[in-house]
């Protein structure tokens, strides 16, 4: 779907929607330039109360700020993910503080999946697959091929991140996954 800004290194996030399962998986690498700073970062989160999962690519602090804002929007709009995503994107684009945040988010509930960006985009993938971050396109390509197999959503997500980690130097194989 989208790989993000080339300055955002160290993340691969894939979102898979197959059957009744929705999975978001991410690698654990954080890089500063060509140096690996951390290999076990958790870039995937779940909002238990609303049964929403999110993965983020970009600055960790920025992504956590956006995750908190998403949580607040979900509360305000009674768990309506579409409305919360649009409102978050609107704020992100227009708010002076948020506008400087560099990140992409892949979010999903049981019915919908979206990519949210700081430019105000709220994109819904056609095939139920999202790949973002430096290795996002590799994971996306692998996932597209694997969707036609008997593999589960979790297996596809794991294999997709694994493939990306073999190609993208800013991605590792320490996978964090959430499922709804």
Catalytically annotated residue among 11, 12, 171, 176? 11
Q: How far apart, in whole angstroms, are the C-alpha atoms of residue 51 and residue 38?
A: 28
Residue 35 is among the residues annotated as catalytic for this protein:
no
Do 103 and 58 touch, CB atoms closer than 8 A?
yes
Structural contact between residues 24 and 15, judged by C-beta atoms closer than 8 angstroms: yes
Strands 122-123, 113-117: parallel, antiparallel or unpaired by DSSP?
antiparallel
Distance CA 128, CA 60 (A): 25
Catalytic positions: 11
């Amino acid at each position: 779907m989208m790989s993000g800004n080339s300055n955002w290194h160290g993340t691969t996030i894939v979102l898979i929607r197959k059957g009744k399962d929705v999975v978001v998986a991410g690698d654990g690498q954080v890089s500063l330039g060509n140096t690996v700073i951390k290999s076990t970062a958790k870039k995937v989160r779940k909002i238990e109360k609303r049964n929403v999962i999110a993965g983020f690519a970009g600055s960790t602090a920025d992504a956590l700020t956006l995750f908190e804002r998403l949580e607040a929007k979900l509360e305000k709009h009674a768990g309506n993910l579409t409305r919360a995503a649009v409102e978050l994107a609107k704020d992100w684009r227009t708010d002076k503080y948020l506008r400087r945040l560099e990140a992409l988010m892949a979010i999903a509930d049981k019915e919908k999946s979206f990519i949210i960006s700081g430019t105000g985009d709220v994109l819904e993938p056609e095939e139920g697959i999202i790949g973002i971050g430096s290795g996002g396109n590799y994971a996306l390509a692998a996932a597209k091929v694997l969707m036609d197999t008997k593999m589960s959503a979790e297996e596809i997500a794991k294999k997709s991140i694994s493939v990306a980690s073999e190609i993208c130097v800013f991605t590792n194989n320490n996978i964090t996954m959430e499922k709804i």
